[in-house]
A = this chain, B = another copy of it.
């Protein structure tokens, strides 16, 4: 499910500022002085081409990991207020260096912290929602002809005047929130890959870059395991109608545009397939294949009869703050998936209830993974579902559980079978490129 915690209350959308581009650069793009210079040249080139630019930066390279490691060395439980203060230092370094580098190229630039940029969040730490955008100083800087450089990932809680951070993918969220508040023409998310691919190129060598994808499909790809964009950022962009352009900071090539297409991506009800539609479906409607091996399967054995028992088990997991994904019941056995990191906690929560509910045992298996096919109209076309299971079966990937949503089918299989499942689906749905080339594929940082 998309994480939509960061959506502010509905605001009056600003007038579109057609000449404005918001550019977000991840940690890998500003990993060292050379990277910062490269980004500075790109910003200046955009400016010279006639656009106004607002830049959002992440911390340099591994800075955040290093700070997290330092925190772990001085405290067994380094969360809360001080953790946000610590991590927020990373973006201050990269943004100040980038502003200097742009200034050295002859363009005026000024950096702004989250607070200075008007990123107001709720007063919680280590994952706050944005509640208001008040980018007055950014607008003033733009009007003065300057390039504002904004620290990603951070905001301020107005009640306490303390630094907060936005959680995973926070810099992308900052960029999209600024693009929405300023009415930017596009929010460009720069990363170290060429865009969003039809599958992870490390797994599917013939994966190809997607030129354009709907926000709804992108949302499903992200929640199914594609790590280039986080679901939270895509959802924010969709709600505020901000076109996203995911692209590489290492090349000048176009990346992947995420924006609503003209036709509706969600047909309102199932219909009969028409002749020749398979062709169109394969070429245009299926967006890609995603996978995620960071899941665990929990199996509860011999759950006693009684309508309330399954519900009590699921509620115990939810009450422990653990997100439940697929679930299935077969006779007296209940299975479901949770994020791998929460597997032990889920088991512990259930063990405490064993005598109370009366089930026999609970088991925990991390050697599983999910593979998903994403595309508009999947739910409307039973042939897609049939081909999906047929391809997995032919490839020898056993399916333990599966679910179908409007634009996605997901199957749980053995972790060892994930690669062949991805390849099989990629080929079966006509996604293979002729000139498939391996591309290093990584997250977009925070």
Q: A residues touching B (Cβ–Cβ < 8 Å)?
A: 33, 36-37, 40, 67, 70-71, 73-78, 81-83, 85-86, 88-90, 92-93, 95-101, 103-104, 109-111, 116, 161-162
Contacts and interface: CB of A to CB of B under 8 A. Distances in A.
Given A71-B96, A85-B92, A89-B96, 20 more contacts: A67-B93, A70-B93, A71-B97, A71-B100, A74-B101, A75-B104, A76-B104, A77-B104, A78-B104, A81-B111, A82-B96, A82-B97, A82-B110, A83-B96, A83-B100, A85-B99, A85-B111, A86-B96, A86-B97, A116-B162
A74 B33 contact: yes
Nearest to A87: B96
Nearest to A161: B116
A70 B92 contact: no
Copy total for this chain: 2
Contacts of A36: 74
The 9 A-B residue pairs whose C-beta atoms are closest, nearest first, are A33-B73, A86-B96, A74-B101, A75-B104, A75-B100, A85-B96, A89-B92, A89-B89, A82-B99
30 contacts: A33-B70, A33-B73, A33-B74, A36-B74, A40-B74, A70-B97, A71-B96, A71-B100, A74-B98, A74-B101, A74-B104, A75-B100, A75-B101, A76-B104, A77-B104, A81-B111, A82-B103, A82-B109, A82-B111, A83-B100, A85-B92, A85-B99, A85-B111, A86-B100, A88-B92, A89-B89, A89-B92, A89-B96, A92-B92, A116-B162
Contacts of A82: 96-97, 99-100, 103, 109-111
Could you tell me the dominant secondary structure of chain A's interface residues?
helix
A100 B87 CA distance: 13
Contacts of A88: 92
A331 to B, nearest CB: 49
A395 B318 CA distance: 84
B75 A103 contact: yes
A111 B99 CA distance: 27
A63 to B, nearest CB: 10
A445 to B, nearest CB: 18
Contacts of A104: 74-78
Nearest to A81: B110
B37 A74 contact: yes
A110 B111 CA distance: 26
A104 B79 CA distance: 11
